[in-house]
Amino acid sequence: MLVNEKTKAQIGMEYLGVYGWVILFGLIIMGILIFVMSGFNYQALNKKCLLFSMAECSNVYLYMPSGTNTLTINLTLRNAGPDAFKITELKIKPEHADGSFGLEQNMMGSATSIELLPGKQTQVNATNLQTRLVKGEYQKLVLNGKYQVCKDSTCSSDMDFKGVIVERIE
């Protein structure tokens, strides 16, 4: 029986079509397993700091000195809205408050409010927050607070907000 070149090519393509997909599928599964087993933390991709619509937060830094259970949080708040605002309450707790912080803790220290004019920014530093969070891991922290919108030196009544920080503790 004579087999011409066209038939050989067709047999080769059929072989590749069947076994090529199996090989490709196997490589994809191996890649996924290596990715997952390497200890990759999906939250690293989702670093974020979100507050209410007028407030942007950035430069988040969570620090816990070795051998302690106190957390320091530094972040930059920026007024991205057209009006001034005043934060009158700002508390923080882990997403799963199972005794990690215990209760919400105040981030404002002795300040009674944080005021920001449009386009301006300020640093917020909270120190000595008692915690049982783990250094080196990504954590999701929930921010709860109250703010007022101020126009022409008149401020609205307090409005509640809920925000979130996802960041690694250094």
pLDDT of residue 148: 92
Residue of higher predicted confidence among 60 and 133 = 60
Q: What percent of the chain has pLDDT over 70?
A: 85
- Contact assessment for residue 83 and residue 118, using Cβ atoms and an 8 Å cutoff: yes
pLDDT of residue 102: 47
pLDDT of residue 44: 54
pLDDT of residue 125: 83
> What residues are paired with 169 via a beta bridge?
62
Mind giving me the DSSP string for the chain? ----HHHHHHHHHHHHHHHHHHHHHHHHHHHHHHHHHTT--GGGGG-EEE--TTEEEEEEEEE--TT--EEEEEEEEEE-SSSEEEEEEEEEEESS-SSSS-S-EESSTT-S-EEE-TT-EEEEEEEEEE--PPTTSEEEEEEEEEEEEEETTEEPPPEEEEEEEEEEB-
Backbone angles phi, psi at 120, to 5 degrees: -90, 160
Rounded average pLDDT over 58-84:
87
Tens digits of residue pLDDT in 22-62 = 889 999 999 888 877 766 555 555 677 888 888 888 888 88
> In the chain, what are the domain boundaries?
5-40, 43-168
pLDDT of residue 137: 78
- Contact assessment for residue 109 and residue 78, using Cβ atoms and an 8 Å cutoff: no
Residue 142 in this model has a pLDDT that exceeds 60: yes
Rounded average pLDDT over 104-123:
82
pLDDT averaged over the chain? 80
pLDDT of residue 5: 65
Tens digits of residue pLDDT in 143-154 = 888 999 998 889
pLDDT of residue 99: 46
Residue of higher predicted confidence among 92 and 42 = 92
Based on its alpha-carbon atoms, the radius of gyration of the chain, rounded to whole angstroms, reads 26
Rounded average pLDDT over 83-110:
72
Domain covering 43-168: architecture? Sandwich (2.60)
